[in-house]
Amino acid sequence: MLHLESLVCYACRTNQNLNFFGEFSKESSVIPFYLSDNEKRRAFVGTCGHSICLTCAKSNPNISCPICSRSNAFINGTVNYGSTNIIEQYESNVFQLFKKWWQQFNSGIGVCCNCLDHKLLRICMTCKKKKDLKDVDILKYALCQKCQDRYRSDKRSEEEQEKYRGYLKDENKPIECRICHNATTNPFFDSTWFELNTLHLNLDTLNFCADCILDDHANHDTSKMSNNTSQSKLPMRILTVQILEKLLERKLEVDEDQMKCKLRHMRMIMTSEEAIRRAKDPRPFFNETKNASKTPEDYIERLISSLETQYHQYQDLKSTCHCVEVWKDVVKLNIFDFFERNPHFYAMVEKTDLEETLNGCPFEFESSKHEKEMLLEIIRKGEKVSKSREMTKPHKLLWN
């Protein structure tokens, strides 16, 4: 399985923002996205094996690992100077990356961590739990008897609690309860919270085919990788899609002065947005022959294949399309609607099938004749639309 979560810094991640390792904090689109000599967001590897960016490590040397919660994990860490090149490679191959990720996530088929065969995979949950307990600071999940009885109805067996206690460095040392913060010498461990917070850990090293499961993990608890409708996997899936979304945005971004065809570029953006929206949808996909009214299960792959074709067609353009000059008039006269979109350009793109390979610019299509005539008439009159609000950059409109 592909784990794109390793490309971002969890310490400075928010719901609205992701920072790639090696990424320059740019103020405008003309600044390069990745600077090989930039030190600000180098990946900084902690003693736990996880990484945060160098900016976060320097600003708070005593920070606990945001992935496994190990305390002071980055005091004696090291800089990973190769991380930037890895991210650039991911961006360069983002179309294949997206398709491969979706195929593996949707089908559960991938490379076995043991025999390296390309087969249907299962996760060994027994080995994963042992590895998680070893990697994570379990003190973060300790409860006193009072809080355990009051707040946790799903009490686990004493045998399971002993497994947690076995990872304590000093069983006789008082431990702080994570809820009331009182010290206790007889801790219980919040296994539910622990499991929720470690869902994303060690997945890339514990995926095995059926043969290897039988040979080396007999009687272990295992889970199918293809269970992508599970609510427990949804947060990890959404985060991964956010990373792919940002990689696609970087790949497709074009400076307005370098635009070759505005409508074809808008169509690429629209195709990308549709693929991302579908990939974020937690509802399952359906076989097209069984339920034609539902979204077919290969729809995302078809969209990304179309997007890749559109991208290469755009790159192969030798001259600037006429729609670029028309777009300049649109910007000059402020011909945008409430959503900061030009309705005529948007309608021309929306009329095309996003999966279809087009030969030419939608501006010249017969289906665009009505919108084209209306827009050119507005431009001919030359009446500038009154600005009731500040405009955003034109090439960003479709992203917002």
Q: What is the mean pLDDT of the segment spanning 133-161?
A: 79
The pair of three-digit structure tokens given for residue 84, joined into one six-digit string: 């930037």
- Residue carrying structure tokens 């010249």: 364
pLDDT per residue over 327-381, tens digit each? 999 999 999 988 889 999 999 999 999 999 999 999 999 999 999 999 999 999 9
Closest CA to 83 of 115, 124, 117, 44: 44
The pLDDT tens digits for 1-42 are 445 767 788 788 765 677 777 664 443 333 333 333 345 678
Label the pairing between strands 207-208 and 118-120: unpaired
Q: What is the pLDDT of residue 108?
A: 75
Q: Average pLDDT for residues 211-230, to the nearest whole number?
A: 78
Give the predicted TM-score (pTM) of the model: 0.69
Choose among 129, 142, 200, 194: nearest CA to 168.
142
Q: Between 297 and 278, name the one with better pLDDT.
A: 278
> What's the pLDDT tens digit per position in 83-104?
667 777 888 899 998 988 887 7
Contact assessment for residue 21 and residue 10, using Cβ atoms and an 8 Å cutoff: no
Q: pLDDT over 90 for what percent of the chain?
A: 30
What pLDDT shows up at residue 249?
A: 92
Looking at the structure, give the CATH architecture of the domain made up of residues 1-91: 2-Layer Sandwich (3.30)
Compare 104 and 219 and report the one with higher pLDDT.
Answer: 219
- Average pLDDT of the segment spanning 307-336: 96
242 — pLDDT class (breaks 50, 70, 90): confident
Query: Given a cut of 70, is residue 77 above it in pLDDT?
Result: yes
Domain residue ranges of the chain, discontinuous segments joined by +: 1-91, 137-197, 246-399
Query: With 90 as the cut, is the pLDDT of residue 268 above it?
Result: yes
pLDDT at 194 over 80: yes
CA atoms within 13 A on the CB side of 70: 21
Model confidence at 230: pLDDT above 70: no
